[in-house]
Amino acid sequence: MTLQEHRIEELLRRVETLENRNLRWRWFALTSLPLLAAFMVIQGCSSPPPVEEEKTALTLETLEIRDTNGRVRARLDAAGVALLDDQGKRRLELSTLNGEPAVRLLDEAGNARVGCALSKSLTGVEIVDPEGKQRAVLALGKDGPRLSLNDPNGRSRLTADADGDGPSLGLWDENSKPRARLAAGKADVGLGLWDVSGSQRAQLKVVKTEPTLHFSDGNGKLRVELLLDRSGPGLTFADETGKPRASMSVDREASGFAAWDDNNQQRLKLLVQKNYPLIGLLDEDGEPRARLSMDQNGAAIAIFDPDGKPIFQKPDADGPGVRE
């Protein structure tokens, strides 16, 4: 081989070696670029979020939650929240009406059976029967709590209140008329009874330490009063106008009976004082006209004229209490 041929062969070998290196670098570049891009993406995803993050909101008209069988069991929309049973029937509803919240529990037929509502002036819970009649209500208003138990027609038959004056319990008939009421105030407690026409006929009350029993007629006029005060017991009967006509009383000094006329003037009195009886008759002006009595000296009788002067008297001497 000549020197010239040797140089040419050496040059060809160098060219081939350079081409092989260029191929390796080209392959490395082609395979490295995708890896580099992937690395940059991964680094970008794993990098911490910026300090200020934009707020996002999820806007939906209806949100439904389904069970494993694909049945809707809960629904949230503009009307409120509803929970459904496995038959797709609403059983609980939470809603707002005019800005006031309300909760309803429904039966299998879709009828509301329990309701709870909250308003500015009243908070209440009601229980409804299958016919849609309100049977029980518990409410809290500005005057205090109130409980009402109703009949199948929705009329109140029993009520319980607790206001500023004290607690009370009421019984009502099927026509919504009161029949009985028990109430307690700051210093008194009482029981009232009404007839079928709605007129109060009896009242038992205790004011501080003094009990009183009243009986009234159908017109609301007091006809009988039985009381017990510090002086003793007393019983009074009145006519249809409410005027007293007769009374009996017992105190520390005596026991007695008195009767009045139509003009509310006392006309008769019977008295037992210190074991001595006395009967007195009075005229229309309330002046004594006759007296029959007995004391330690025996029996005595006296009759008086309109001016109060004795016109007949036995014994003749005036005893104590002749004109009592």
How many structural domains are present in the chain? 1
Asked if the model's pLDDT at residue 15 lies above 70, the reply is no
Q: Is residue 92 part of a domain?
A: yes
Residue 50: pLDDT band (50, 70, 90) is low
| CA proximity to 67, closest of 93, 81, 87, 91 | 87
pLDDT in tens, 288-314: 999 999 988 889 999 999 988 999 998
The pLDDT-based confidence of 40 (bands split at 50, 70, 90) is very low
Cite the beta strand spans of 142-287 per DSSP E: 144-150, 156-163, 166-172, 178-184, 188-194, 200-207, 210-216, 222-229, 232-238, 244-250, 254-260, 266-273, 276-282
Say what percent of the chain tops pLDDT 90. Answer: 68
Residue 114 lies in a domain: yes
CB within 8 Å of 42: residues ≥ 6 apart: none
Q: Are 177 and 192 in contact (CB under 8 A)?
A: no
Is 38 a residue whose pLDDT tops 50? no
Residue-number span of the structural domain to which 105 is assigned: 62-120
Domain membership of residue 131 (yes or no) is no
Q: Which residue has the higher pLDDT, 148 or 34?
A: 148
**Mean pLDDT value across residues 179-207:** 95
- Please give the structure tokens belonging to residue 212: 């009183």
147, two tokens: 């409980």
d(CA 28, CA 49): 34
**Could you report the per-residue pLDDT of 249-282, keeping only the tens digit for each?**
999 889 999 999 999 999 999 999 888 999 999 9
Residue 260 CB coordination number (10 Å): 21
Q: Which long-range contacts (CB under 8 A, 24 or more apart) does 13-16 make?
A: none
Say yes or no to pLDDT of 49 above 60: no
Task: Report the mean per-residue pLDDT for the chain.
Answer: 84
Give pLDDT tens digits for 18-29.
Answer: 455 544 544 444
Q: Is residue 86 part of a domain?
A: yes
Long-range CB pairs of 56-60 (<8 Å, 24+ gap) are none
In a domain, 76, yes or no: yes
Share of the chain above pLDDT 70, in %: 80
What sign results for the dihedral spanned by CA atoms 308, 310, 312, 315? positive
Q: Residue 266 falls within a domain, yes or no?
A: no
For the segment 133-172, what is each residue's pLDDT rounded down to a tens digit? 999 999 999 999 999 999 999 999 999 999 988 999 999 9
pLDDT for position 27? 43
Confidence of residue 61 (pLDDT cuts 50, 70, 90): confident
**pLDDT of 68 over the 80 cut:** yes
Q: Report how far residue 161's alpha carbon sits from residue 191's, in angstroms, rounded to the nearest whole number.
A: 15
Q: Residue 253 and residue 238: Cα distance in Å, rounded?
A: 25
141: which residues sit within 8 A by CB, 6+ positions away? 121, 122, 123
Q: What is the mean pLDDT of residues 181-195?
A: 95
Q: What is the DSSP string of 69-109?
A: TS-EEEEEETTEEEEE-TTS-EEEEEEEETTEEEEEEE-TT
Residue whose C-alpha is closest to residue 266's, from 249, 281, 253, 255: 281
Q: Which two tokens stand for residue 207?
A: 């004011």
Domain assignment of residue 261, yes or no: no
| pLDDT bucket at 316, cuts 50 / 70 / 90 | low
Compute the distance between CA of residue 140 and CA of residue 85 in angstroms, rounded to an integer. 32
Residue 39 has pLDDT above 70, yes or no: no
Task: Give domain status of residue 212, yes or no.
Answer: no
pLDDT value of position 59: 84
CA–CA distance, 140 with 117 (Å, rounded to integer): 11
